[in-house]
Amino acid sequence: MNRLNYLVVAAMTLTLAACSHAPKNQDLPYPFQALGNEPGWSVVLQNDLQADVILDTGSTRFTTTFSAVETTDQGLQLRSTYQNEPLNLRIRPGSCNDTMSDTHYEYSAILEVKGQSLQGCGRPAL
């Protein structure tokens, strides 16, 4: 590959990376809520990444601050800890349907806590 072709390919790669549809921290509508059912859970996230977390349909409640924000082709990944174990929240843009309420959301979410991967959806917090 000659130098000009290499530069064109490199510029196209950078342009495509900049146009990624994965949400960035500043792109989410704050406050943002990720929520799911069976078991019921919710994370209300502020723009400073502080979060109110509800697990086990309300029997567990705590506040945490997420960090290590990463944007990948899989969306936005946030990390924290709960009881000295990893607490991960992944948020991806795209249609998500809560089958219990038949509500449609603009984001899908996965909360990983205590060895469980909890599926859910996301929206601007009410």
Encode 101-114 in three state secondary structure: CCEEEEEEEEEEEC
The pTM for the full model equals 0.78
Q: pLDDT over 70 for what percent of the chain?
A: 78
Whether the pLDDT of residue 39 is over 80: the answer is yes
Assess if residue 8 is contained within a domain: no
Task: Kindly report, residue by residue over 66-91, the tens digit of the pLDDT.
Answer: 996 787 777 899 999 999 999 999 99
Assess if residue 68 is contained within a domain: yes
Assess if residue 16 is contained within a domain: no
Of 6, 5, 46, 45, the C-alpha closest to 54 is 45
Assess if residue 2 is contained within a domain: no
Query: How many domains does one find in the chain?
Result: 1
What is the pLDDT, as a whole number, of residue 26?
Answer: 57
Q: What is the domain extent for residue 31?
A: 21-124
The single-letter DSSP state of residue 115 is T
Tell me the pLDDT band of 11, cut-offs 50, 70 and 90. very low
84: left (phi over 0), alpha (psi -120 to 50) or beta: left
Angle, alpha carbons 37-67-69 (nearest 5°): 85
Task: Kindly report, residue by residue over 41-55, the tens digit of the pLDDT.
Answer: 999 999 999 999 999
- Supply the mean pLDDT for the chain: 83
